[in-house]
Chains A and B, each alone.
Chain A
Amino acid sequence: MKEYEKTGVLSLKDLRLPNEKQLEKGVAIIECVQHIPCNPCVDACPFDAISMKDINDLPVVDFDKCVGCGQCISVCPGLAIFVVKHIMDGKALISIPYEFLPVPSVNDKVEALDREGRFVDTVVVKKVVKKGKTWVVTVLANVEDAMNIRNIRV
């Protein structure tokens, strides 16, 4: 039995992670670890960077092809895709799917939360895009928190 099957929380060991160079370019992190019959992320990628042989397979991101455009974030029914981009001065941009009210505005300060909903840091909203009824919110955080921040509280 995997720990996340009990807790609902993934650890970084459960994920395949990109290298630093790929992170500087910005890449999609797909936190989809179970064989669910589902593939809209594959269709959504304009760069053919997400692949899947069978609909029940796990999506595999080609971190070299992926440019971190985030098209896949809002189509994922499991809201399991995030984009992380390392930028200068020890900072990172994290794009998160968001389906709650109120929706933050650019430059708002919001609470960044980890996979267990625990407070990580206060971060600044850099971009808010609405796609269908899912918002994609991009926040600016410290680079060491980039793989832990997965939600925001407004």
Chain B
Amino acid sequence: MNWFERLFPPKINVSSRLSGKRGVPEGVWIKCASCQATVYGAELERNIQVCPKCGFHMRIGARDRLLALLDDGSQEEIAANLRPVDILKFRDSKRYKDRIVDAEKSSGEREALVVLKGTLKHSTVVTSAFEFRYMGGSMGSVVGEKFARGVDIARELKSPFICFSASGGARMQEALFSLMQMAKTSAALNRLHEDGLPYVSVLTDPTMGGVSASFAMLGDIIIAEPGALVGFAGPRVIEQTVRQTLPDGFQRSEFLLEHGAIDMIVGRLEMRDTLASLLGSLGFRGSLIPTLSDLLPEDATKS
């Protein structure tokens, strides 16, 4: 088991899609980890990785998520060229340097956070999403810097900022540097709020540790996907501390809603409409209705 499987046992996190068992060619037929139904891969993709049979939300890559959210063709990546460095020369059973190479291969991304500028129903937004396949979506210096740059670009554009979290927490291989990203991301949000711009935080499975205990919980509006595991301490650590089995549904989205920690639970298929509606009410609405100048021939508006 790798380290994030230890944190989040396969039972609750790794969808069969990733495990590629049963000799089925990967990507063609996928077994839902929740209802066990076999689903056609293309159908699942159209459904943004939500099981069409039972509605279970499987993990989705950062880029796919943002591309599904933003208007087609509007997307532009921010700070794509930032790369991690092994400043501590960290080595456990593996060198951090090698883990970086592996993470790039397995995720197809260059870091655990993807930031895209674009439009959501014709309204400009800056969006970011965690790539869980990149070292468990852990937050190191690059994630903190990309987040901060995304926020600052939202400020330049006077647009809202949205972040989809999916992370095991801070990246241990960057030690105290990674802890300090909690302050760096929070300071960026402070600037955004000073400018009167909204920040929406969307919690997806899982959002834990240093990510949960910083920007993920700082949204003007906090939304969670159904059934996401969200908390400060991991369930195993808590079980070891309190020496009792945790109740069903503990630290799940529904538990958080019940305890007043989040505003709402929204399914992935309704996310685009919900976000556009919320931001619209906050005063960030795209112009769906064509303006007079769009309708009239160019010289007509001049007179």
Partners in one complex: no
Contacts from A to B (Cβ < 8 Å): none
